[in-house]
Amino acid sequence: MSALSKFISENTIKGFLAEDEGEALFRYAQTIAEVGPCLEIGSYCGKSTVYLGEACKITHNTLYAVDHHRGSEEHQLGEEYHDSSLYDDDRQCIDSFPEFRKTVKLAGLDDTVVPVVATSILTVKHWATPLGMVFVDGGHSPQMSMDDCVKWSAKLAPGGILAVHDLFEKPEEGGQGPFLAFQQVMANGGFKKIDQVRSLGFLRKS
């Protein structure tokens, strides 16, 4: 187990990412510092943020961490992945931002990570900086996955990497949104698949 994975398990950082998937994010994010900054959609409590952020810290790069922190459909009250400790009773909604900030500080990444507390679609609208790597792990509906993959992949610099989580080829394994969106980016051209670790796929832009 790497020091990074040890940090995550010892501090019980909540999240939805396998150890080897996190390590792959860490590895690839270190290779793109010369290409451009790194951006993730869907930070939740900061698990993927720590892997990507640590890679950016080492390479003097920056990670933009986009999440409205209101949770995806499956995190809402009564749904499968609801976590009552993240529920704001007064406002009656999920708020993962306090937990996210705690994780980023604990990991020593306050000077590396720029939290963007907003929807993906609002953030991408005027985004102009060519990116070195985009990690898509936000809303998993077919429409949201497609919007995120297509719109954000267009913001990558040549040589940049698109990583997409929760790719399930068969419907019985999980939702098809991310898988179909990943296939669409490849079909549109200009991207080549370079790796896959469990449900985490990597494409490189020509």
Measured in residues, the chain has a length of 206
| Residue 117, helix vs strand vs coil | coil
- From 68, 69, 140, 165, the catalytic residue: 140
Beta bridge partners of 162: 134, 203
101 binds, among ligand SAH, Mg ion, none (CB under 5 to 8 A by kind): none
Tokens of residue 181, six digits: 């969106």
Question: What is the rounded CA–CA span in Å between residue 153 and residue 6?
Answer: 31
What's the min distance (Å) between Cβ of 194 and ligand SAH? 20
Residue nearest to Mg ion (CB): 165
93-94 and 87-88 as β-strands: parallel, antiparallel, unpaired?
antiparallel
Establish if 204 lies at the interface with ligand SAH (CB under 6 A).
no
What's the min distance (Å) between Cβ of 178 and ligand SAH? 11
Q: Beta-strand (E) ranges in 87-170?
A: 87-88, 93-94, 113-116, 131-136, 156-164
Establish if 44 lies at the interface with ligand SAH (CB under 6 A).
yes
* 44 or 179: CB nearest ligand SAH: 44
Other Cβ atoms within 10 Å of 155 Cβ, number:
17
140 is catalytic: yes
Establish if 181 lies at the interface with ligand SAH (CB under 6 A).
no
* 39 or 41: CB nearest ligand SAH: 41
- Tell me which residues are annotated as active site: 140
**Site residues for ligand SAH per CB under 6 A:** 15-17, 41-44, 47-48, 66-72, 96, 119-120, 137-139, 144
